[in-house]
Structure 1
Amino acid sequence: MEDINEKILWEGYGLRFRGGTRTRTGLICRTDMGLRELKKPRGSEESLYLAFDVKEQLRKNGFRNISRFYRTLEGEPFYRYDSVLYTLEDVMPSESLPEDSADTFLRGAEVLGQMHHGARGLQSEAARWDGERLPGLYAKRRSELAKIRRRNDKRRNYDAIDLLLIRHYDPFMEQAALAEELLRKGGYQNAVDRAAETGAFCHNAYKGEALRQNEKGEIFVGSFDKCSSELPLADLARYLRRYFKKTASNAEGVAKMLENYGKHQPLSAGDLTILQGMLIYPEKFLRLVNEYYNKRRACVSPAMQERLAAAAKEEENGRILRDIVKKGC
């Protein structure tokens, strides 16, 4: 294995490998130019090109608590070896930001606002903005759910997951339809156009394991390999949901999260309406339902049943969060 790493570092980056230490995220390499972390990213080539441009823009605008990608000898942000992609990055602090208190989420919300603000001016050839993407996805998933329900009704031979779907079908269909309407009312398409023009991105993995803190308590952001051209509000919605799930949160805490984020990335009335749509949309439940039925239901997996039941319960938080944000508008 060391021979492979040595070859990647030398052929890809012109660095001498002096040994390494395996971590959960990759391999911390000692090289003739200092410490670097070699990783196998989870994203596609396109997302990695976008991630490289995002990081460069963030650093340019003063947001430097990130692990930059090092270019290969050929100028690429990743190296391909035996059809596998590798990235070489700065070594991040080892301590993850805990998600066991409201305070850490409040700090994380402010850093999220700083990061989103730091993307201003971003222009990338890898960006793929689509003002119909999210409304289209919401409508598609709602249509798929209706088809699944009709097929199940024709069979009249329900298993445990069929019954779980029937129990939650009406409220989640209503939530999905309301989410589409809120995106429309908030001006989603216009917001996407503005984001593309002014520079923006969505991290898509902003949570505790992607956030690290050093001995001074400074927060660093990693895991950019799945970022995309989407409204930054999607990151905020997911982080609010995670905050509500992980802590004994309340309306005051949610308001403080929005305040901390808005210090750096102000939220307009339209933004808050779009945010409500993202919060109330039962994304996790619909995704898991689609995953289960697309596998043609070979068997009723207890694990999938538990995941769906947990997701259904979690979607209750979306309704509560949407009501909190609505009252605060």
Structure 2
Amino acid sequence: MREFNPQILRAFGLKPKAVKRAFGSHICETNEGLKMVKTVNIPVECLLFIHSAKEHLNRQGFSNIDRFNETDYGQPYYEYNKNIYVVKNWIDGEECDFTDFDSVKWATQSLANMHVASKGMRPLESSRITNKLGLLPEAFEKHYRELTYMYKKVRKSSRWNDFDILFIKNYNDYIEDAFEAKEVMNESSYSALIKQARDEKVFCHDKFTNHNLQIAKNQMMIINFEHCCYKLPLNDLLRFYEKVMRKCEWDEKKGFEILDNYSKIKGLNDKELRVFYAMMLFPDKYWRLSNQHYNTRRHWMPKIYDVKMNELVHHKEAKKEFLKSLKRNL
């Protein structure tokens, strides 16, 4: 880790008292309390977009976030020795526990409130705008084709390993889900929802999961906005929802309670629920694991792919039953 220079804190109008290394950053005691100083490896223009999103939320009254401190010149970063540094309040909390349903409901409310507050975000000049609106139908088609290609390729192979067997054994179920998801999406009001999202200028956190939810001083703090972007709020809800539902073995009562709690704040109309159903139905994790295993093999050791696929298949029937129930309520 780079040596810490107190000049960095002084640029933010802070007086350093003590410094320690932790979590790949520096935790600093200052005249304004504990601060975290860390280097970032993204362009300044991207950083400005993230800063814009956080400051917009704060202006809308949603302040439970890890805002950047600003320098004496009003910048959310400081450049020193060719490195870019940011400073944030140190949040000394505990990671949100998705096995505790009270915490899940709290997180659901936080997500809905963040989405309400996100409306109307206009980034600072010089920001590099991250826009991921409208990409799903094309992604569904592309991933569907890739799954069929991988299937044909594996079937032609003369020797199958454990992952190959799992992939082939479950292929028919998942490819049927993928086909239905494409059909539902193409017949849905997805395009109208995208237009509405563009007009309203709403954004997503895009990594809304337990690792980025900290409970500190009886507050639910949302941290690490590095992936935030213009995107349908349903994407945040989906990522959060699927992780929670795996934790509770796709419990139907809990599943509908989460959607109801979110809807009371943000609202979920029939058009949005239909798109949400298509997003849940598409076997994205099956595609992602298969694609990584057959085409990249750079994230995990080969046996880890077997473990991950077995975990996915373990939930297949429970998720299918839940999706049937969700479909009946569309």
Structure-1-length-normalised TM-score: 0.87
Query: Hey, what's the Cα distance between the residues in 2 that align with 1:296 and 1:104?
Result: 35
Query: Hey, what's the Cα distance between the residues in 2 that align with 1:176 and 1:164?
Result: 17
Other-structure match for 2:149: 147
- Contact 2:119 2:203 (C-alpha < 8 Å) held by counterparts: no
Deviation of the 1:317 alpha carbon: 5.0
Other-structure match for 1:19: 18
- Contact 1:6 1:17 (C-alpha < 8 Å) held by counterparts: yes
Deviation of the 1:92 alpha carbon: 2.1
Other-structure match for 1:35: 34
Question: What are the within-5 Å matches in structure 2 for residues 2-81 of structure 1?
Answer: 3-10=3-10, 13=12, 15-24=14-23, 26-40=25-39, 47-72=46-71, 75-79=74-78
Once the two structures are superposed, residues 90-110 of structure 1 have per-residue CA deviations (whole angstroms, 9 ceiling, x without a partner) of 222422222222221112111
Other-structure match for 1:286: 287
* Residue in structure 1 matching 2:158, options 156, 165, 170: 156
Q: Name the Cα RMSD after superposition.
A: 2.8
Q: 1:41 to 1:180 in 2, by over 3 A?
A: farther
Query: Hey, what's the Cα distance between the residues in 2 that align with 1:198 and 1:25?
Result: 37
Q: 1:75 to 1:82 in 2, by over 3 A?
A: same
Query: Hey, what's the Cα distance between the residues in 2 that align with 1:317 and 1:292?
Result: 25
Larger deviation, residues 287-296 vs 80-89: 80-89
Deviation of the 1:272 alpha carbon: 0.2
**SS class of match (2:323):** helix
**SS class of match (2:266):** coil
Opposite residue 9 of structure 1, the aligned amino acid is L
Matching of residue 87 in structure 1 with residue 89 in structure 2: no
Deviation of the 1:15 alpha carbon: 3.8
**SS class of match (2:159):** coil
Number of residue equivalences:
326
Matching of residue 122 in structure 1 with residue 121 in structure 2: yes
Opposite residue 60 of structure 1, the aligned amino acid is R
- Contact 1:121 1:199 (C-alpha < 8 Å) held by counterparts: yes
**SS class of match (1:224):** coil
Give every structure 1 segment of 4 or more consecutive aligned residues whose post-TM-superposition deviation is greater than 6 Å.
none
Opposite residue 199 of structure 2, the aligned amino acid is E
Opposite residue 6 of structure 1, the aligned amino acid is P
5+ residue gaps, structure 2: none
Larger deviation, residues 104-113 vs 42-51: 42-51
**SS class of match (1:293):** helix
Deviation of the 1:222 alpha carbon: 1.0
Opposite residue 206 of structure 1, the aligned amino acid is F
Question: What are the within-5 Å matches in structure 2 for residues 1-329 of structure 1?
Answer: 3-10=3-10, 13=12, 15-24=14-23, 26-40=25-39, 47-72=46-71, 75-79=74-78, 85-124=84-123, 126-215=128-217, 217-247=218-248, 250-295=251-296, 301-329=302-330
- Contact 1:131 1:190 (C-alpha < 8 Å) held by counterparts: no
Query: Hey, what's the Cα distance between the residues in 1 that align with 2:320 and 2:60?
Result: 36
Deviation of the 1:238 alpha carbon: 1.7
Opposite residue 188 of structure 2, the aligned amino acid is G
Query: Hey, what's the Cα distance between the residues in 2 that align with 1:279 and 1:262?
Result: 17
Q: 1:164 to 1:73 in 2, by over 3 A?
A: farther
Structure-2-length-normalised TM-score: 0.87
Query: Hey, what's the Cα distance between the residues in 2 that align with 1:20 and 1:316?
Result: 51
